[in-house]
Amino acid sequence: MKHRGRHRRRRRGKALRAALAGAALALTGAATMISASQATVADDPGTLNPLTSAAETADLRLTEHHVPRPWLDRLSTAMGEPVGVGAVLGSADHTLRDAADCTTGEREALPVSPAATRAYCWEEADTEGWSPGAVTTSGDADDDGRWGAHRVILSAWSRDDGTPEGGLARVSFVDADDPDHLTYTSALLAVPVDGGLDYRGLASPVSGMVWYQDKLLVTAGTGGRDALFVYDVDLIQRTTTDALAVGRVPGGWAAAGHPYVLPAVASYRLPDSSGAARPGAISLDRGTVPDSLVASERVPADGDRPTRLWRYDLSTDPARTGLPDADSAGHVDPVEAYETGAAEVGGVLSYRPAGAARADWYLGRAAGGDDGTDGRGTLWRQDTEGARAVECGADGSQRCWSGPAGSLSYWAETGEVWSQSGRMLFALPLRSIEDALD
């Protein structure tokens, strides 16, 4: 039986690779039709310009605020004992389809070059009305690539529900133990209110997300000074009703129909300055000592200033697991920062190859347009000496990446970069990105 199962997985793997290769060839053919003028739309962002003075980095400072522990205890007492990631995965009630079973329209969201080596599409009914956001994995959470006994992918989604609060955000927990059969269920992201007697939904798109140790750090959109919210993956609460409301309802607790809710445990706020930098994309860099949180802001293509890239050290204090390193006043200051000419940055990675003197920065950029979603995106590698983009097609178009460009997450154990665009969740080796840029 084991041999037959292995052969079935090999056949499925061949079919998947054939489907992805066919999609890549078709998209590459489309890319060759892009004119030379279109191919140069993504202007060379030039070199990274270091920001070294206190005045230049003051707008990057964050200030830490914790949700009072009695609030969380009160909520837990009312809702019942929190559950962990394993319990959430055990109740997965949705399935991701392999790329071979996805529609041509869905696969158009995949990169042209370098091509994805693993790709899946989300259930249409479950994601209707929701917009895809950031991705992180258990490769971020722990350097052995697992959370407990499981390999896990987390995918963020947001929805504008037309309320004055502005919408909802959720995280889908994907059981990735079997690459041929990914299942998932979702938890609503929430913020405790009224002293822990209730909670509200996180009204923000999640464009960046990192799962580090037992904490999940997610970006907050415009509309307030909160830049990041923090969630504890050991404090997931079960809801007691599938009502579409959020929070305490007659008869129990609801999370817009979701079976679980994650209440925030902390937040990080922007400085009160006109130039405050709001993280739009974040990722984890395990190549620094200590590990660091990498961030970029999103400046529109018609903006009149450079984009800033920076990193914060993550704490090594056992009492501060998963949190950025903060001083006694709760301030989190960048340990490295740059300006770049790249606009519409939707994903950021920092990675230093073995033996290299410095890290390379990888930027996924939207193609442009008022909403940043006009056409295919571009993928750049940049450092203090210059920048290079992935090219594809006979005319060397730079529009080879997914569009719109989403967040980037590097799974060090497998060497893969994960992202999502449209209804496609996909991965490819970092090595293939490097090869495409050499």
**Rounded to an integer, what distance in angstroms lies between the CA atom of residue 179 and that of residue 318?**
33
Residue carrying structure tokens 């490769």: 139
Q: How many CB atoms lie within 10 A of CB 162?
A: 8
**Rounded to an integer, what distance in angstroms lies between the CA atom of residue 323 and that of residue 331?**
12
pLDDT of residue 223: 74
Of the candidates 163, 293, 169, the one whose C-alpha atom is nearest the C-alpha of residue 220 is 169
Token duo for residue 143: 């350097």
Cβ density class 80-107: b for 16+ within 10 Å, e for less: eebbebeebbeebebebbbbbebeeebb
pLDDT of residue 29: 44
User: Degrees (nearest 5) of the Cα angle 163, 168, 172?
Assistant: 160
* 268 contacts: CB under 8 Å, gap ≥ 6: 62, 63, 64, 65, 226, 227, 228, 230, 324, 332
* 356 contacts: CB under 8 Å, gap ≥ 6: none
Helix (H, G, I), strand (E, B) or coil at 35: coil
Q: E strands within 91-250? A: 94-95, 97-98, 118-121, 131-137, 152-159, 168-175, 183-193, 198-201, 209-212, 215-219, 226-232, 237-238, 246-249
Sheet of 336-340: strand order equals: 49-50, 336-340, 307-313, 292-296, 281-285
Task: Kindly report each contact of residues 319-328 with a partner whose C-beta sits within 8 Å and lies 24 or more positions away, as own/partner.
Answer: 321/213, 321/214, 321/215, 322/212, 322/213, 322/214, 322/215, 322/217, 322/230, 322/232, 323/64, 323/215, 323/230, 323/266, 324/62, 324/64, 324/268, 324/293, 325/290, 326/64
Of the candidates 179, 173, 175, the one whose C-alpha atom is nearest the C-alpha of residue 120 is 179
pTM of the model: 0.90
**Rounded to an integer, what distance in angstroms lies between the CA atom of residue 253 and that of residue 260?**
10
Q: Is the dihedral of CA 59, 324, 284, 209 positive or negative?
A: negative
Task: Give the DSSP letter of residue 150.
Answer: B
**Rounded to an integer, what distance in angstroms lies between the CA atom of residue 80 and that of residue 375?**
47
Cβ density class 178-201: b for 16+ within 10 Å, e for less: eeeebbbbbbbbbbbeeebebbeb
Q: What is the pLDDT along the chain (438 residues), one digit of tens a residue?
A: 333 343 444 444 444 544 554 554 444 444 434 333 343 444 799 999 999 999 999 999 999 999 999 999 999 999 999 999 999 999 999 999 999 999 999 999 999 999 999 999 999 999 999 999 999 999 999 999 999 999 999 999 999 866 655 689 999 999 999 999 999 999 999 999 999 999 999 999 999 999 999 999 999 987 789 999 999 999 999 999 999 999 999 989 999 999 999 999 999 999 999 999 999 999 999 999 999 999 999 999 888 899 999 999 999 999 999 999 999 999 999 999 999 999 999 999 999 988 888 899 999 998 764 444 457 899 999 999 999 999 998 888 999 999 778 999 999 999 999 999 999 999 999 999 999 998
- In DSSP terms, 254 is beta-bridged to 247
Token duo for residue 140: 């971020």
pLDDT of residue 80: 96
pLDDT of residue 432: 97
- The continuous run of DSSP H or E covering 262 comes out as strand 260-269
pLDDT of residue 395: 86
pLDDT of residue 251: 87
pLDDT of residue 307: 97
What is each CA distance from 345 to 220, 300, 357, in whole angstroms? 16, 9, 25
**Rounded to an integer, what distance in angstroms lies between the CA atom of residue 300 and that of residue 292?**
26
pLDDT of residue 6: 39
pLDDT of residue 367: 73
Task: Give the DSSP letter of residue 319.
Answer: G
**Rounded to an integer, what distance in angstroms lies between the CA atom of residue 332 and that of residue 240?**
38
What is each CA distance from 166 to 91, 219, 257, 318, in whole angstroms? 29, 15, 18, 36
